[in-house]
Amino acid sequence: MFKKLLLAVDINDPKGMMRTTQAAVDMTRANESKLHILNVVPSIGMPIVGASLEQNHSKQMLETARAELEVWSANNIAPDIDLTLHVTVGTVYDQIIKQADASEIDAIFVGAHSPELKDYLIGPNAARVARHAKQSVFVIR
């Protein structure tokens, strides 16, 4: 049913990703799927902030995030899982949806942190992905 899965991870919250990762790996195995793992590096934001950074700062951020994702996946994803790693820069929910469309993903796995008043039931990124993605979305708490 689901042949291509996308697991969106926050490499800065490895403990918070464990349940979502396990759910994605279990479904990958059950469906003999390909697993795509995405880490989104938030954009710098206002141009005035970017102007004060070195010219290659964005490239260094991406390289560091990619290296961290490779280490994390090697330590947390079994070697029998067919996977592809992606690192992008931008707004988290937007990049998840764009990557899902570009990779022709069938289902997306996102984690949701414990709700705060401003989030209500699920985190703002997970909620936006669930509302706007064309794919099935599994929100794991």
Dump pLDDT digits (tens) for 63-102: 999 999 999 999 999 999 999 999 999 999 999 999 999 9
Q: Reply yes or no on whether the pLDDT at 122 is more than 60.
A: no
Q: Where are the domains of the chain?
A: 4-140
Counting every residue, how long is the chain? 141
Return d(Cα 139, Cα 110) in angstroms, integer: 5
Bridge partners (DSSP) of residue 107 are 5, 136
Q: Reply yes or no on whether the pLDDT at 28 is more than 80.
A: yes
Q: Reply yes or no on whether the pLDDT at 12 is more than 80.
A: yes
pLDDT of residue 18: 92
Q: Is residue 117 very low, low, confident or very high in pLDDT (cuts 50, 70, 90)?
A: very low
Cβ–Cβ < 8 Å for 3, 34: yes
Q: Reply yes or no on whether the pLDDT at 125 is more than 50.
A: yes
126 Cβ contact partners less than 8 Å away, ≥ 6 residues apart:
110, 111, 112, 137, 139
For all residues of the chain together, what is the average pLDDT?
A: 87
pTM: 0.86
CATH number of 4-140: 3.40.50.620
Detail the DSSP E strand segments found in the chain: 4-9, 34-41, 83-89, 107-111, 136-140
pLDDT of residue 92: 92
More confident residue, 51 or 57: 57
